[in-house]
């Protein structure tokens, strides 16, 4: 699948649920209204849709959410997609999780064919963790991370950088990740969805964070890339990588290789734009065969926009897009 700007679309992110057991302040409002279950695709429907994308050349799939691992029976989807790895056309199956369910599920993820995962953990301090997630406890996530490591999964820690909240912790986190063999990725807050807080108060440009980190760590440039928006460096002192995702200080759209599917079968061609395609309608149309479904996907890819236009400034009161990250899938 080649979009109008010549970019090959080979990576699909699937938000398997908009629900979550945490309420991170940058991601959700405290009081969220979730989708009625009837609107959500079944796991079999999600598998069929993913199959259509694989048939069109998608070779990497990431299951995300919401919290993907709280969806009932989600392991059956991991297993059916895992069966498509290799000759089935899929090169990689991964997930992004808050880690709370990993003690229970890490072994099954590995058995399904998952080899690396991203775990979101913005702080190593229990009180800060509780404040960021509104009610979460750090321990289940930490235990989950170590369960994943023990199960043979490579772990990358994702941390959203927040002004005055975790900005003094990154040195400690780099050391901790180095000690345990995890890569780390710092993310700038993106203006997605109403969150009952002012994003101007949260936003911390990573350009200044990097300058500060370089006082204590040697960050060697690498050309390592996951095809995504992160710019990676190797921390010479630990040998682990650190990535910076900077949608606001650096536009990463020119190399975008991905589209995002929600749990209702809505395809978003860009995280930062509102245009979408309703694939559920096609999926549930008894008169439409696999070729018709694939044509609907190709028609959507033909509308993939050039890029987002995220801005966080005091004059702009509305988020860039109304939907939350948990809907589109981060
Ligand atoms: N629940 C899972 C988790 O937290 O990893 C997966 C879904 S979560 C929406 C995916 C990633 O998006 C997480 O790393 C989270 O920190 C990040 N995220 C959520 N809202 C964000 C925002 N407004 N700006 C930047 N990153 C955000
Ligand atoms: Fe849940 Fe992940 Fe959003 Fe936090 S970032 S509220 S864990 S979906």
Ligand 2 centre from 22 Cα, in Å? Answer: 6
CA 17/CA 40 separation, integer angstroms: 8
pLDDT at 314: 45
CA 290/CA 293 separation, integer angstroms: 5
Q: Where are the chain's structural domains?
A: 11-328
Ligand 2 centre from 283 Cα, in Å? Answer: 28
If one residue of 62, 97, 98, 160 were mutated to test the ligand 1 pocket, choosing by the most ligand atoms within 8 A of its CB, it would be 160
Q: Which CATH topology does 11-328 take?
A: TIM Barrel (3.20.20)
| Of the candidates 40, 141, 62, 66, the residue with the CA atom closest to the CA atom of residue 109 | 62
Q: Ligand 1 in contact with 141 (CB < 6 A)?
A: no
- Which ligand approaches the C-alpha of residue 121 most closely? 1
Ligand 2 centre from 59 Cα, in Å? Answer: 26
pLDDT at 255: 81
Q: Ligand 2 in contact with 24 (CB < 6 A)?
A: yes
Q: At 159, phi and psi to the nearest 5?
A: -135, 125
Residue by residue, pLDDT tens for the chain (330 residues) are: 999 999 999 999 999 999 999 999 989 888 889 999 889 999 999 999 999 999 999 999 999 999 999 999 999 999 999 999 999 999 999 999 999 999 999 999 999 999 999 999 999 999 999 999 999 999 999 999 999 999 999 999 999 999 999 999 999 999 999 999 999 999 988 776 665 666 667 788 898 999 999 999 999 999 888 767 788 999 999 999 999 988 765 566 788 889 999 999 999 998 878 889 999 999 999 988 899 999 999 999 999 988 776 554 445 555 556 666 666 666
CB atoms closer than 10 angstroms to residue 326: 25
pLDDT at 270: 86
Residue ranges for the binding site for [4Fe-4S] cluster? 20, 24, 27, 253, 256, 270
Let me know: does 58 contact 81? Beta carbons within 8 Å. Answer: no
What pTM was computed for the model?
A: 0.92
**Cα angle at 115 between 242 and 16, to 5 degrees?**
90
Q: Ligand 1 in contact with 240 (CB < 6 A)?
A: no
> Which two three-digit tokens encode residue 279?
């694939």
CA 25/CA 192 separation, integer angstroms: 12
The H or E element that residue 150 is part of is helix 138-150
Indicate the burial class of 260 (C-beta count within 10 angstroms; 0-12, 13-18, 19 or more): buried
Closest C-alpha to ligand 2, atom 8: 66
Question: Measured from the CA of 325, which atom of ligand 2 is nearest?
Answer: 3
Q: Ligand 2 in contact with 190 (CB < 6 A)?
A: no
CA 140/CA 151 separation, integer angstroms: 16
Residue ranges for the binding site for GTP? 13, 62, 96, 156, 258-260
Ligand 2 centre from 21 Cα, in Å? Answer: 8
Let me know: does 71 contact 16? Beta carbons within 8 Å. Answer: yes
Ligand 1 centre from 330 Cα, in Å? Answer: 5
Q: Ligand 2 in contact with 82 (CB < 6 A)?
A: no
Crossing angle for the helix pair 43-55 and 74-82, to the nearest 10 degrees = 30
pLDDT at 54: 98
CA 18/CA 218 separation, integer angstroms: 39
Ligand 1 centre from 288 Cα, in Å? Answer: 35
Tell which phi-psi region holds residue 33, choosing left (phi > 0), alpha (psi between -120 and 50) or beta: beta
CA 80/CA 69 separation, integer angstroms: 15
């Amino acid at each position: 699948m080649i979009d109008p700007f010549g970019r090959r679309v080979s990576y699909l992110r699937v938000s398997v649920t908009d629900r979550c057991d945490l309420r991170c302040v940058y991601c959700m409002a405290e009081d969220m209204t979730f989708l009625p279950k009837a609107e959500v695709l079944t796991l079999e429907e999600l598998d069929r849709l993913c199959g259509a994308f694989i048939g069109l050349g998608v070779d990497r799939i990431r299951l995300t959410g919401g919290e993907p691992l709280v969806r009932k029976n989600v392991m059956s989807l991991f297993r059916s997609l895992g069966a498509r790895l290799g000759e089935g056309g899929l090169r990689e199956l991964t997930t992004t999780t808050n880690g709370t369910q990993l003690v229970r599920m890490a072994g099954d993820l590995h058995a399904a064919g998952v080899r690396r995962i991203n775990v979101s953990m913005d702080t190593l301090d229990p009180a800060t963790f509780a404040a960021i997630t509104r009610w979460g406890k750090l321990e289940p996530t930490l235990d989950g991370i170590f369960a994943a490591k023990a199960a043979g999964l490579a772990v990358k820690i994702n941390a959203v950088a927040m002004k005055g909240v975790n900005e003094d912790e990154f040195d400690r986190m780099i050391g901790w990740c180095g000690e345990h063999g995890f890569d780390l990725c710092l993310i700038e807050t993106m203006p997605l969805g109403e969150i009952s807080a002012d994003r101007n108060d949260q936003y911390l440009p990573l350009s200044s964070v990097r300058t500060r980190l370089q006082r204590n760590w040697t960050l060697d440039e690498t050309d390592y890339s996951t095809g995504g928006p992160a710019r990676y460096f190797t921390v010479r002192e630990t040998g682990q990588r650190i990535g910076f995702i900077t949608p606001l200080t650096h536009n990463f759209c020119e190399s975008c290789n991905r589209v995002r599917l929600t749990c209702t079968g809505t395809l978003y061609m860009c995280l930062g734009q509102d245009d979408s395609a309703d694939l559920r309608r096609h999926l549930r149309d008894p008169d439409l065969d696999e070729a018709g479904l694939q044509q609907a996907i190709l028609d959507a890819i033909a509308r993939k926009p050039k890029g987002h236009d995220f801005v966080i400034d005091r004059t702009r009161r509305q988020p860039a897009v109304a939907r939350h990250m948990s809907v589109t899938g981060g």
